[in-house]
Amino acid sequence: MSDSQRTNQTRVLVERKYFTFAAPPDEMILDCGTRLGPITLAYETLGELNQARTNAVLVLHAFSGDSHVAGRFGDDDERPGWWDNMVGPGKPVDTNRYFVICSNILGGCSGTTGPSSINPETGKPYGLTFPMVTIKDMVRAQKQLIDHLGIAKLMSLIGGSVGGMQVLRWCADFPEMVGSAIPLATTSRHSAQAIAFNEVARQAIMADPAWNNGDYYDGPGPTHGLAVARMIGHVTYLSDDAMREKFGRRLHRDTLSFDFTGDFQVESYLHHQGQKFVNRFDANSLLYITKAADYFDLERGGGNLLINEALAGVPFLVVSFTSDWLYPTYQSRDIVSALKKNGSEVSFCEIEAQWGHDAFLLPNARLDGLISGFLDRVYHERRL
């Protein structure tokens, strides 16, 4: 489907919904041992759940994403969801056929319970009193939502980056609910380099005096530190080729400034990205979510949790991108190797793309075809 065809499609309107569970005394027990409740998940759905409840596709977002995966909130809303190029009527994840669910992750700041939420015991934002959460905790909360929707088995799970980690965690923890899975641009465990970049980003926030040990909700907050953290992260999402083509060494002005206001276009771009992020994201959520990603390790304790007889026969589509140096292709190949030991039906593709880690979010005809074809085959083979 061409870009012009997608642009001319009827706009899909969506509504943010909320599901609350784990009210005391039935709080959810987290990996850290703390009990948390009540918990609210913000989520959105597109398409219709069929009568047999067998056509559900769960889309898991990356660390700074949210439940707004596609469509718009109103006719005058010019900003679509973060994966609008992929999800919708007639698109690769076709909502004329599939019932798509996307929820904001636990610890987030877009409607789901996280450090910026009000602690019912104090009447104030949790801040750093919010317990540490893991990818496993996020998935455990998502399962509560899927159970609430009356879905016994998901036709497919799709996610990139931290969303891909959630896909793999679902496969490890609830294999009986996984009909198929598409982990994109992800890993089964963070490398030392990925942990290092996340730690630098966290330190940028915590070094901002306005962070105030996480208790900043009555003031402006650590806007500078959060912007710098986003700038650091954004560098890891791009590639050398992408930066060279997009910016090169082009100047922001006609002449050098001979000061520190920023001379190069790439500097101006990073400042812009940092400021945009400050306007929509909570600094404490960044601390918690990046730490959860660092803790994620399907090989902790020896052995790989993806090696599970319950996953035998489950179809997987694993995709990496040539220019992704945050989660390079060898990490996707490790996932493929583990899955093949189960006898899982694994398709793997490394897509030639110059845009780095963010390539999975951008329009790409090859990725469109892979996902569309994979889901179509799963749909028909299971006679859904």
Which residues belong to the active site? 161, 324, 357
Residue 315: strand pairing partners: 345
C-alpha span between 53 and 146 (Å, rounded): 11
For tokens 């990205």, what's the residue?
A: 273
Please count the other Cβ atoms lying within 10 Å of the Cβ belonging to residue 360: 26
* HSE value, Cβ hemisphere, 13 Å, CA-based, for 35: 9
- Distance separating alpha carbons of residues 53 and 99, to the nearest angstrom: 9
Do 75 and 131 meet the contact criterion of CB atoms below 8 Å apart?
Answer: no
| Whole-angstrom distance, CA of residue 23 vs CA of residue 2 | 47
Q: Which two tokens stand for residue 184?
A: 């994109």
Which residues are CB-contacts of 186 (< 8 A; sequence separation ≥ 6)?
159, 160, 161, 162, 163, 164, 165, 167, 168, 327, 331, 332, 335
d(CA 116, CA 119): 9
In the chain the beta strands, taken as DSSP E runs, fall at 17-21, 28-29, 35-36, 39-46, 56-60, 87-88, 93-94, 99-103, 118-119, 124-125, 156-160, 181-184, 315-321, 345-351
68 CB burial (10 A radius; 0-12, 13-18, 19+): buried
Helix axes 135-148, 162-173, angle to 10 degrees: 70
Question: Token pair for residue 351?
Answer: 């897509």
| Spatial CA neighbour of 282 closest among 138, 36, 107 | 107
CA-CA distance, 213 to 227, in Å (whole number)? 17
